[in-house]
Structure 1
């Protein structure tokens, strides 16, 4: 990595590369993050969407990025002298994104600091076993939709592998086609990231499940371990014309994978009302708050 000799507006940096995986993986193991952005796979798959770059501020590795609206930011420093790196970057006029509550309490309580919740970026945290079993009346509608699907289709659920790749890519293309005309800056970028995740799942350490109906992929979900007790589901796509299959693939992802994890992080809703309602309908046990911070 390049190093900084002073405090420029944007530190000298270079694009995130696949070769950074071993080093960043080790940093994330030490960090045990709670927010969904902080995995190598997520950063790599969305490296174009968010223009992710790496820099070194003192001895702290830092990821620089850009939001869908074009606003530039940096993610919480990944080690070293975190407080010193924050001071240099914030004093240089940059904005921090993705800090969780514990990070804010530890590093962002000084005078002259503007710290704001970013509700559209809050992660939805669920009990994995609850998502796998859908117990009680709270999940009655979810179970009804799965039963509706099961009564009408002969299906198999399998752990994702290379043999499913082409079928999943075909489903992803159909998912994107149905949404043609939707005014969302993230749609094409998310589709590209999901396609690359399917292609590079083994190398990125992603795991997934697939629902097959008469041999055709009707839904898939892909994710990875976020920390010792939490997994994260990065992608879940399903046939938009097959009622109940999205609820089924969500349940099976949690039933079959990461069974030693207590929690599942289902990422943010990006402020989209329909997605927010869908995520809230699964009764998260916590919304993992994320904050932005800058100098006043």
Structure 2
């Protein structure tokens, strides 16, 4: 039902992906219902953020679906806030409820980074020369010692063990956001086949040094939900990125690598791959 409702709008935002909604449902206390052909979503972030709604997606009376969300907020005594509104959705909302909402760009921290799959596969062009160099150096330095393998239910345990190692390596094992991420990863890996996920592991001398997974979210876009690598091994991040895309993203035009969360290092890394576009997200609130 989630995918059916979402199929009526080809939004390139990660929040419109069922896998994201599912794996992060505990962290955001996500509630989903279906009404008159639309999917309605309410979230209550555990980090203390405000309760909010996603814009309805589906087919039918969009105005009535928006009214249903507003009524739900009123009954709960909540401010009515719609988050992660895609730019094309603004036009649709204005068409059915003209002048009712104010739309504001929330923050660049939450915008998705979207790349051409072909560029991530080949790392072609002058802008990505440094990435190519890192990949080539890794292959030369560890010739005969590295391997890439598709993720399965069996080796997903190795991926999770590396996630725990990664958290300890980066000193974030006890931070609340990473506790939420750990829960999300567990949910995804435990339901790997049911969610139609694709993933990969990078090994060096048999030990996992990176892993990633994601899903095909729309006919033309793949979403990478998680990517982690040992930053002390030069080229590990670039290798898992390219190896995975080469094997799993040949049937899409775009790869969405989600947001940078305002983390400077993550922002720098994602910008360094030169996204072809950004998945800009707006917040809609009733005027007055």
TM-score by length of 2: 0.88
Q: Residue by residue, what CA displacement relative to the aligned partner does 1:102-158 show, whole Å, maximum 9, x if unpaired?
A: 001221473242211122211111000100100121012212222232222221112
Match of 2:85 in 1: 99
CA–CA distance in 2 between the matches of 1:130 and 1:162? 29
* 1:61 positional shift: 2.5
Q: Is 1:145–2:134 an aligned residue pair?
A: yes
* Greater CA drift, 231-240 or 74-83: 74-83
Q: Is 1:41–2:19 an aligned residue pair?
A: yes
CA–CA distance in 1 between the matches of 2:57 and 2:172? 39
Q: Is 1:282–2:273 an aligned residue pair?
A: yes
Q: Is 1:83–2:63 an aligned residue pair?
A: yes
* 1:225 positional shift: 0.7
CA–CA distance in 2 between the matches of 1:27 and 1:197? 22
CA–CA distance in 1 between the matches of 2:18 and 2:148? 27
CA RMSD in angstroms comes to 2.0
* 1:59 positional shift: 5.2
2:173 touches 2:179 (CA, 8 Å); kept in 1? no
Count of matched residue positions in the alignment of Structure 1 and Structure 2: 274
Q: Is 1:200–2:178 an aligned residue pair?
A: no
* Greater CA drift, 210-219 or 261-270: 210-219
Q: Residue by residue, what CA displacement relative to the aligned partner does 1:191-233 show, whole Å, maximum 9, x if unpaired?
A: 2212332222111110012112122211111011111111111
* 1:172 positional shift: 0.5
User: In the TM superposition, what are the counterparts of 1:1-296 in structure 2 within 5 Å?
Assistant: 23-56=1-34, 60-67=38-45, 68-79=47-58, 80-90=60-70, 92=74, 93-108=79-94, 110-118=98-106, 119-153=108-142, 154-181=145-172, 185-296=176-287
Match of 1:17 in 2: none
* Greater CA drift, 56-65 or 191-200: 56-65
Long gaps (5+) in structure 2 = none
Could you say what secondary structure the match of 2:57 adopts? coil
* 1:43 positional shift: 0.7
Could you say what secondary structure the match of 1:33 adopts? coil
CA–CA distance in 2 between the matches of 1:284 and 1:138? 11
CA–CA distance in 2 between the matches of 1:146 and 1:87? 52
* 1:95 positional shift: 0.3
CA–CA distance in 2 between the matches of 1:58 and 1:26? 13
Q: CA 1:168–1:104 in 2, change beyond 3 Å: closer, same or farther?
A: same
Could you say what secondary structure the match of 1:71 adopts? coil
1:90 touches 1:295 (CA, 8 Å); kept in 2? no
* 1:184 positional shift: 5.7
Q: Residue by residue, what CA displacement relative to the aligned partner does 1:232-252 show, whole Å, maximum 9, x if unpaired?
A: 111101123211111111111
CA–CA distance in 2 between the matches of 1:184 and 1:101? 33
* 1:87 positional shift: 3.3
